[in-house]
Chain A
Amino acid sequence: MPEHTDRASDWMKGDGPFSDVVMSSRVRLARNLAGFPFLSKTSATQRREIACACRDHLMDSGIAESMLWVDLPDSSEMDRQILVERHLISRQHAKGGEPRGVAIALDESVSVMVNEEDHLRIGVLRSGMQLDDGFAHANQIDDLLEQRAGYAYSSRFGYLTACPTNVGSGIRISVMLHLPALVMTGEIEKVKQAANDMHLAVRGFHGEGTEATGDLYQISNQTTLGRTEQEMLADFQREIIPKVIEYEHAARQAMADRRTYLLDDRIHRAQGVLTSARLLSSSEALALLSHLRLGVSMGRIADIELGLINELILLTQPAHLQRIAGGRLDGEQRREFRAEFVRRRLTGG
């Protein structure tokens, strides 16, 4: 398990470019080993063989200075949930007893899932808007692995994946955005519509199939065939994300100019509740932290760092909270512990 699960990973600290709106950038590449079926058609022996081969390739390729391998069937449910909350594995990957695992760089900027939907899912995470850097790193890992593992590839369809929606480049570019002002002004619906028209997926904080909580939205590409990785990246870097950032900034300015009291009330009410509540559910905490984050990034609240709020967004989730508490807590105990933990961290007590 990553060593410091009581604090945020570097990529969550919120010090990257445009971190007032962009929480994190992620690039993921889907790959399958040549000569093996995809996972739905593998025998138990083959699955084990794939897991071992991938683990060896990952641990011996010099991908990062230090890599950690987590064997998921041997891990506790709590450990797996921690990895999900830290965005190091998907929810799907956390389930089931089949041979599978994840290789994680110690700074948690790289996580490679083995035997998820595809044999390999190479993921690179960065703080703020750093897609070019993220892609360069993912690409480099891909090159290193390719020298050892032959990939399933066809000149017609590109990198072959279990699901045809990922075939081709196998790339998924995702940017996690904090868009509270667009939510307050109701303009978020227009953003979602525009994204759909551009064949982009808009998802919630926890990825596929989740609703947006805490005004956090993940925008990612759906097309993987017929466009180069560089074309897709350029779209995100120069067109799509700058536009969304611009809209969010405009909405923040409009709120500050025309609905000053409403904006300040939301921000300070959030701070008030977070620093005095005695019970906090995870969704309530996330919603309030979102408003507090808005206040901090607009400079309407002093003495609180953006990094601390990002960290609280991570640490107030159920598995992290229980890890910090040092044992299992039921729902009621969690709400109580969460309120106390947030209060302590925000007031420095």
Chain B
Amino acid sequence: MKCDKCDQPATVHLIEIVNGKKIEKHLCEKHAVEEGVTVKMTAAPINDLLEKFVMKQTGEAETVERQACESCGLTWDQFRKRGLLGCPGCYRVFADQLMPLLERAHEGSNQHVGKAPRCAGAGELRQQRLMQLRRELDQAVAAEQYERAAALRDEVDHLEQDDT
């Protein structure tokens, strides 16, 4: 089919209903732009556009990729590759990035409403402290610093007793 305005092939087909009357327009690209039916694209590579769009959507810059959880050392990039978080602390460190992901996975929700442990709330800080102590304990054992390890072990036991 040829353009209504010239001999070029029509690439844009428009059907308008004006006052109950059907008006068909068949235009080539040039005349479609002139008529204001389409907007001329300056050669923007689609890949580039998509990439920018994805980056914007996930709100990520390179720094985020490399940002690490201070408790377990997991980076956001590692999480994206494996799909598994490293520790409870990751939920706090990566809260912003996790939000859109959680909402997609859980029908728009990002807030827990179900069952809670009886001691919920008070325990959250203690959980972080325990994790910190256990990491130090592991390092002390690896470095064969047994005295330090024993002291750390006592502290862990003490905190755990508080927990129960």
On whether the beta carbons of B106 and A153 are closer than 8 Å, the reply is no
Q: How far is the CB of B126 from the nearest CB of chain A, in Å?
A: 7
Contact of A226 among B73, B106, B118 (CB under 8 A): B106
Q: How many residues of B contact A (CB 8 A)?
A: 49
**Which residues from B are CB-within-8-Å of A36?**
87, 130-131, 134
On whether the beta carbons of B164 and A150 are closer than 8 Å, the reply is yes
On whether the beta carbons of A226 and B71 are closer than 8 Å, the reply is no
On whether the beta carbons of A40 and B86 are closer than 8 Å, the reply is yes
**In the complex where A152-B127, A163-B83 touch, is A225 in contact with B120 (Cβ < 8 A)?**
no
**In the complex where A43-B138, A160-B88 touch, is A225 in contact with B109 (Cβ < 8 A)?**
yes
B43 at the interface (CB under 8 A from A): no
On whether the beta carbons of A223 and B126 are closer than 8 Å, the reply is no
B17 at the interface (CB under 8 A from A): no
Q: Which of A165-173, A285-293, A299-307 is found at the contact surface with chain B?
A: A165-173
**A129 to B146 CA separation, bound complex (whole angstroms):** 55
The number of A-B residue pairs with CB atoms under 8 Å apart is: 148
Q: How far is the CB of A325 from the nearest CB of chain B, in Å?
A: 39
Query: Which residues of chain A (47-100) have a CB below 8 Å from chain B?
Result: none
A227 at the interface (CB under 8 A from B): yes
On whether the beta carbons of A38 and B86 are closer than 8 Å, the reply is yes
Q: Across the interface, name the chain B residue whose C-beta is closest to A40.
A: B84
**A156 to B94 CA separation, bound complex (whole angstroms):** 13
Query: Which residues of chain B (101-157) have a CB below 8 Å from chain A?
Result: 101-102, 105-121, 123-124, 126-127, 129-131, 133-134, 138, 141, 156
**Which residues from B are CB-within-8-Å of A38?**
72, 84-88
B98 at the interface (CB under 8 A from A): yes
B12 at the interface (CB under 8 A from A): no
**A43 to B72 CA separation, bound complex (whole angstroms):** 11
**A173 to B126 CA separation, bound complex (whole angstroms):** 31
**Which residues from A are CB-within-8-Å of B85?**
38, 162-164
**A38 to B91 CA separation, bound complex (whole angstroms):** 12
**A146 to B118 CA separation, bound complex (whole angstroms):** 8
On whether the beta carbons of B114 and A169 are closer than 8 Å, the reply is yes
On whether the beta carbons of A40 and B82 are closer than 8 Å, the reply is yes
**A167 to B74 CA separation, bound complex (whole angstroms):** 18
**In the complex where A37-B72, A117-B84, A153-B120 touch, is A226 in contact with B134 (Cβ < 8 A)?**
no
Q: Across the interface, name the chain B residue whose C-beta is closest to A232.
A: B114
Contact of A229 among B83, B114, B117, B159 (CB under 8 A): B114
On whether the beta carbons of B112 and A158 are closer than 8 Å, the reply is yes
**Which residues from B are CB-within-8-Å of A225?**
102, 105-106, 109-112
On whether the beta carbons of A227 and B113 are closer than 8 Å, the reply is yes
On whether the beta carbons of B160 and A35 are closer than 8 Å, the reply is yes
B34 at the interface (CB under 8 A from A): no
A41 at the interface (CB under 8 A from B): yes
**In the complex where A165-B105, A199-B107 touch, is A154 in contact with B115 (Cβ < 8 A)?**
no
On whether the beta carbons of A34 and B130 are closer than 8 Å, the reply is yes
A222 at the interface (CB under 8 A from B): yes
Cβ contacts B76-94/A at 8 Å (1 or 0 each): 0000001111111001100
On whether the beta carbons of A223 and B107 are closer than 8 Å, the reply is yes
A139 at the interface (CB under 8 A from B): yes
On whether the beta carbons of B119 and A150 are closer than 8 Å, the reply is yes
On whether the beta carbons of B88 and A32 are closer than 8 Å, the reply is yes
Contact of B86 among A41, A150, A151, A159 (CB under 8 A): A41
B60 at the interface (CB under 8 A from A): no
**A150 to B163 CA separation, bound complex (whole angstroms):** 6
Q: Which residues of B contact A (CB under 8 A)?
A: 71-74, 82-88, 91-92, 98, 101-102, 105-121, 123-124, 126-127, 129-131, 133-134, 138, 141, 156, 159-160, 163-164
With contacts A152-B127, A163-B83 known, what are 9 further pairs, Cβ within 8 A? Answer: A34-B123, A38-B84, A45-B141, A150-B126, A150-B164, A156-B112, A157-B91, A226-B107, A226-B113
A-B contact pairs, 27 of them (CB 8 A): A34-B126, A35-B131, A35-B156, A38-B85, A40-B84, A41-B72, A45-B141, A147-B164, A149-B164, A153-B123, A154-B88, A154-B124, A155-B121, A156-B112, A157-B91, A157-B102, A157-B112, A160-B88, A164-B98, A168-B112, A169-B112, A223-B105, A223-B106, A226-B106, A226-B109, A228-B115, A229-B114
